[in-house]
Amino acid sequence: MRFLALLATSLPLLAATGPASAAAPGAPHVPAGVTAGYVVFDRQAGGVTSHRDAHRRFRSASVVKILIAIDFLETRRSVSRSDLALLRVMLRVSDDDAATSFWTRGGRGRIIERTARRLRLTDTSPPPADLPGFWGYTSISALDIARTYRYLLDDADPKVSGLILGHLRKAGQCGSDGFDQYFGIPRGVAGPWAVKQGWSGYGSTPPVRCDRTPASTPAAASTPASTSTPASTPASPFTPAPAPVTAAPGRSATAGPVPDLGRPVLHTTGLVGPKERWIMVLLTAHPSGTTWQRSTAQVTKLAKEVYLSGTS
């Protein structure tokens, strides 16, 4: 795979620089009490240009929805209109009910096992066996999410990557739960960009409800997940297939403890810069009780610094 070959050229850099917690002069400043892992990958140069704790595991929150979408689309060639609507709201406005529908139908943690093998993710694992329904408890790292974007850009079927990245390029400001998901990259980096955000641990009600209309369709929320489109009326660019694709054999990812359980997490990830030259992934965990306003302000400032550190 081309993305693995390109990332391999950066792995000696990650090993040679030693513990990333010892920040070099001019490096992005991680606020006291905040844990951060980040990677900036330059697609033009073919290497990592900025990083910190790239292999450090975080609980995924909604960033895992990219993996859920990849697995769903790659295990079938026919997608119903109702599922296309669910993919739209899951990716654009981070709808949790849509994610739960795909998660349950895809076998829950087996989705993560399949994608980790197929994309050769080294730090990604499913939720613990006693919490199988908690897709947001999937473990991820900044480097693995950078690899995921590389996979979509260079190795995935164009119909799969085009659909997923097309939605991320049109991410709405308001999440379907009312949280404002324009923090981090959307606030700190000049557009255009394609982003997938993640947050967990801030409660179910936003402190101030986002006041812009989410980029969703009413039909997506009201259409049952089991509804399918007749085969005689193709619903998407995916052509009919007799059976789902089976993931290649390999070692299954092993679930471990949920990272930072009890601490809120806030993640900003995506493609940034002219012609989407850079992949940028910033994962963060905050002290228990940190407010949404404080966390988003800190992550936006840090995202700007990370971007500048990797693109200057």
Q: Is the pTM of this model over 0.85?
A: no
Q: How confident is the model at residue 253 (pLDDT cuts 50, 70, 90)?
A: low
Q: How confident is the model at residue 255 (pLDDT cuts 50, 70, 90)?
A: low
Contacts of 289 (CB under 8 A, 6+ apart): none
Residue 246 confidence (pLDDT): 33
Rounded Cα distance, 251 and 245, in Å: 18
Residue 245 confidence (pLDDT): 33
Residue type at 139 in one-letter notation: S
Q: Tell me what the mean pLDDT of segment 77-82 comes to.
A: 94
Closest CA to 176 of 65, 87, 95: 95
What's the number of CA atoms in the CB half-sphere (13 Å) around residue 312? Answer: 10
